[in-house]
Structure 1
Amino acid sequence: MTQVKTIEFITSKINTRNPVLIYFSAESCSVCTALKPKIEKEVSKNFPKIEMFEVKADLYKQIASHFTVFSIPTILVFFDKKEFKREGRNISVSLFIKELERPYNLFI
């Protein structure tokens, strides 16, 4: 996952109309650290055209607030410049992947 440090960078990526996943985490979040490699592996394997980015919400609070993210971990998925999915806290990786299949296949 590419680290994001500015709102301008991530909004430019969303505006390309390509599928984008943003993973909001924090330095001190053990759940974020454990979940990130699982999400990264499954999304890369199942949806190779989704670009993945990570925002450290504790370091870049302005980005987190811009996307109305107040808890971590939170995952946002965008298709065609629109937020399609928002998952937070207790995330089932298998269910998350299953829920992305149909829209991914429609937009790609």
Structure 2
Amino acid sequence: MILFGSTNCGVCQTIKPQIETKFSDKFPDLVMVYIDCEQLQAVCAQHGVFSLPVVQVFFMGQKFIEEIQGFSLLALGQKIEQVFMKMKR
């Protein structure tokens, strides 16, 4: 899981610890990476990130989920759980 954010993005700074706490407990195999788009603009552009926050979730190198700006962490967790269930089959 990649969280694209910025130190000047209040929403980004609010959801970052929530994502780390909620999802690390529920999905211990899911690795979260935070990318500060102020410092790594080229990386953000390569991933098509031009507004914040953005969450992208990859499984086996393929992007399965992308949430942009106003999204629910509860819904995001449900989507991740659905993909995990499909992968286990």
TM interval, short-chain normalised:
over 0.9
* Equivalent in the alignment of 2:49: 69
The alignment status of 1:24 with 2:14, answered yes or no, reads: no
* Runs of 5+ consecutive residues of structure 2 not aligned to the other structure: none
* Runs of 5+ consecutive residues of structure 1 not aligned to the other structure: 1-20
**4+ residue runs over 3 A deviation:** none
SS at match of 1:51: coil
Count matched residues: 88
Q: Verify the 8 A CA contact 1:47 1:104 in the aligned structure 2.
A: no
* Equivalent in the alignment of 1:16: none
Shift of residue 106 of structure 1? 3.0
The alignment status of 1:60 with 2:60, answered yes or no, reads: no
Instruction: Work out the CA distance in 2 between the residues paired with 1:28 and 1:89.
Output: 14
Shift of residue 102 of structure 1? 1.7
Instruction: Work out the CA distance in 2 between the residues paired with 1:45 and 1:95.
Output: 16
Structure with the larger RCO, 1 or 2 (CA within 8 Å, 6+ apart): 1
TM-score by length of structure 2 reads 0.93
**RMSD, matched Cα:** 1.0
* Equivalent in the alignment of 1:99: 79
Shift of residue 75 of structure 1? 0.4
TM-score by length of structure 1 reads 0.77
The alignment status of 1:47 with 2:24, answered yes or no, reads: no
